Amino acid sequence: MVKHTVTKGFSLLELSVVLVIIALMTSGVMVGQNLLRAAELRSITSDANKYIQAIDLFRTKYESLPGDMYNAIDLWGAADATPATCITTVSGTKATCNGDGSGIIGDDLVRIYEAYRAWQHLYNAGMITPKLTGVSVSGSIVGTNVPSHSISGTGFTLMHQNTDPLNSAAQFFAGANYNHILLYGIKGAEYTDSTVLPVKEAWSIDAKMDDGLPGSGKLVTYNNTSRTGCASTDDPNTAIYQLDIAPNYLALPDQQDCNLIFITGF
């Protein structure tokens, strides 16, 4: 007699339970990723505010802006006795360089080094971490001479709006007079000013922190001519973030069209 073996398969109920579990796990992963991203976006603003507050505290305590401080070596020693050599000298201690005391951090291309020494001065004063070199090496290097952010490759550059032709008035909104700013993004030709955020995320940060508009308030971005796809026009009075009206937004909703500019107020 041939003995038949009966193979028992999954019932429809069992399969349904498995599918539900898989769906819940997938949903949980997506929720977790969304929460993580939301936390990263919130921390952009909190980091920028932290640095702005540190600069303002430094200004109050030392009656000078970091980097521009004309007597910094009196407090922390000189990285090199020759000023021209000092500005390119990385120090393993608090030894640093003086600024010119003009009241502007990096007021022209000759003194752009002040924008990097500013971070060292803030560290020396115990107002920020981690320690940064204070020296420009082919511009802003995230985590080396400018602070990094938790989103990979991004960071902040401190500068004056009219310091450098690479950030000329043509890139900002008409009539803009921002004075000192923090540029948030990934490194471009010189600074951390290349786009890194989808329009929706940039708008969300602006709406929660400021006025939700790209050309006004304490948080702005570059104009449309400079960064096509983020702000809708070059006019601060009419510009909006190009959410669903952006040329490629519906097809490419995650396209990174925006960077952020935090206005320090001084």
DSSP state of 261: E
Q: What is the pLDDT of residues 57-74, one digit of tens each?
A: 999 999 999 999 999 999
The C-alpha angle with vertex 118 and arms to 221 and 262, in degrees rounded to 5, equals 15
Percent of the chain past pLDDT 90, that is, above it, reads 64
Among 22-36, 47-61, 126-140, 222-236, the range of highest mean pLDDT: 47-61
Q: Which amino acid is at 228?
A: T
68-72, 108-112, 225-229: range with lowest mean pLDDT: 108-112
Residues whose CB falls within 8 Å of the CB of residue 41, separated by 6 or more in sequence, listed in order: 201, 204, 205
142-146, 148-152, 177-181, 248-252: range with lowest mean pLDDT: 248-252
81-85, 117-121, 249-253: range with lowest mean pLDDT: 249-253
If one compares 21 and 233, the residue with the highest pLDDT of the two is 233
CA distance 145 to 130: 10
**Cα-based distances in Å from 176 to 131, 188, 206, 218, 225:** 33, 21, 18, 12, 15
- pTM, two decimal places: 0.85
Q: Are 86 and 78 in contact (CB under 8 A)?
A: yes
Q: Are 90 and 141 in contact (CB under 8 A)?
A: no
**How large is the average pLDDT for residues 125-144?**
92
Q: Are 66 and 116 in contact (CB under 8 A)?
A: no
**How large is the average pLDDT for residues 76-97?**
95
CA distance 117 to 64: 13
| Beta pairing class for 219-220 and 260-263 | antiparallel
